[in-house]
């Protein structure tokens, strides 16, 4: 829909969830079907984009260690597209409000006078807990959870502090998880503290590995997709719990 001769359109920051198409909210899917243009992350799956066949699709992905789109350019694209289309979707992996740079995009749209709405998605930590059937909290064991990342803005130094919580969930935890494990061991966490690592959460190529904190400190090796690391006593496997079916491929690389 050409919207250049009327008022600016509206931008929706939509959470795509962890990857599986049917884990997106109904509201998010409905808005995708109405969008004139969709600016999407690199981690958004092709199956998710099938929900908006009518839309112009613009890849504005950010992947660690790879060429990525500058945030200032993304902000400008959102404003420019809202002046051309009635419905503009910024489709983000997981939830827009958690490690999604939503603050920068919201500020740019607000300053330009563009209406904006946020549609939440399932953040990967919750999808990973469900996929592994491993609750992040457990009575008598864990009553606090921290979601954190070591990633920083350009020019900033790496964040070295580890949150003080019963269960730790590290996003973008591939290379950084090794350093996190070393810091936790230095702080007195026991070497056998259970760790669950999930790669490509909710996707057909999902892989899961369970290991102790001391082994995590040795690294995870090469990875083919986004990795999330869950650490804490709540990650202990229940006695009657069936082993994860897809542990082996990642375990061999650990």
Q: Where are the domains of the chain?
A: 10-119, 124-251
Of the candidates 10, 24, 48, 172, the residue annotated as catalytic is 172
pLDDT tops 90 at residue 245: no
Class of domain 124-251: alpha beta
- Per-residue pLDDT tens over the stretch 149-160: 976 555 555 556
User: What value does the mean pLDDT of the chain take?
Assistant: 88
Q: What is the pLDDT of residue 254?
A: 34
Residue 94 pairs in a beta bridge with 17
Q: Three-class SS string for 166-205?
A: CEEEECCCHHHHHHHHHHHHHCCCCCCCEEEEEECCCCCC
Strands 167-170 and 145-148: parallel
Closest CA to 82 of 48, 47, 110: 110
CA distance 104 to 233: 36
Q: What is the pLDDT of residue 39?
A: 98
Of the candidates 62, 84, 138, 223, the residue annotated as catalytic is 62
pLDDT tops 70 at residue 189: yes
Q: What is the pLDDT of residue 251?
A: 38
Tokens of 44: 């958004």
Euclidean distance between the first and the last CA atom of the chain, given in angstroms as a whole number: 50
pLDDT tops 90 at residue 116: yes
pLDDT tops 60 at residue 185: yes
Q: What is the pLDDT of residue 253?
A: 35
Residue 204 near residue 45 (C-beta atoms within 8 A) = no
| Annotated catalytic residue 80 | no
CA distance 92 to 28: 11
CA distance 207 to 252: 12
Handedness of CA 73, 203, 169, 193 (dihedral sign): negative
Q: What is the pLDDT of residue 238?
A: 85
CA distance 16 to 38: 12
CA distance 48 to 20: 7
Question: The CATH number of 10-119 is which of 3.40.1010.10, 3.40.50.12280, 3.40.605.10, 3.40.50.300?
Answer: 3.40.1010.10
| Annotated catalytic residue 57 | no
Residue 162 near residue 183 (C-beta atoms within 8 A) = yes
Other Cβ atoms closer than 10 A to 42: 14
| Annotated catalytic residue 92 | no
Lowest-pLDDT range of 97-111, 114-128, 136-150, 217-231: 217-231
Of the candidates 10, 24, 41, 95, the residue annotated as catalytic is 41
CA distance 121 to 5: 33
- Per-residue pLDDT tens over the stretch 10-25: 999 999 999 999 999 9
- Per-residue pLDDT tens over the stretch 50-74: 999 999 999 997 655 444 568 999 9
The DSSP element (H or E) to which 31 belongs, if any, is helix 26-34
Task: Report residue 175's pLDDT band, with 50, 70 and 90 as the boundaries.
Answer: confident
Q: What is the pLDDT of residue 219?
A: 92
DSSP 120-177: ----HHHHHHHHHT--S-BTTTB--EEEE-----TTPPPP------SEEEETT-HHHH
Burial class (CB in 10 A: 0-12, 13-18, 19+), 165: middle
């Amino acid at each position: 829909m050409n919207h250049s001769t009327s008022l600016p359109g509206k931008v929706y920051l939509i959470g795509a969830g962890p990857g599986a198409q049917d884990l997106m909210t109904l509201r998010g899917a409905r808005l995708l079907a109405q969008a004139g243009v969709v600016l999407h992350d690199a981690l958004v799956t092709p199956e998710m984009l099938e929900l908006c066949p009518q839309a112009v699709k613009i890849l504005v992905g950010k992947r660690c260690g790879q060429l990525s789109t500058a945030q200032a350019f993304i902000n400008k694209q959102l404003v420019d597209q809202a002046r051309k289309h009635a419905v503009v979707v910024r489709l983000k992996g997981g939830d827009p409000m958690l490690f999604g740079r939503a603050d920068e995009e919201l500020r740019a749209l607000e300053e330009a006078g563009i209406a904006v709405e946020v549609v939440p998605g399932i953040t990967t930590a919750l999808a990973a807990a469900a996929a592994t059937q491993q609750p992040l909290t457990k009575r008598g064991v864990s009553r606090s959870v921290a979601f954190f990342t070591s990633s920083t803005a350009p020019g900033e130094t790496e964040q070295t502090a580890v949150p003080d919580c019963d269960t730790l969930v590290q996003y973008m935890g591939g290379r950084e998880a090794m350093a996190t494990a070393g810091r936790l061991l230095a702080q007195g966490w026991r070497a056998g503290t259970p760790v669950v690592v999930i790669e490509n959460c909710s996707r057909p190529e999902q892989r899961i590995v369970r290991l102790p904190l001391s082994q995590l400190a040795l690294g995870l090796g090469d990875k083919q997709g986004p990795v999330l690391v869950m650490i804490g006593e709540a990650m202990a496997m229940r006695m009657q719990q069936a082993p994860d079916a897809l542990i082996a491929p990642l375990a061999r690389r650990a």
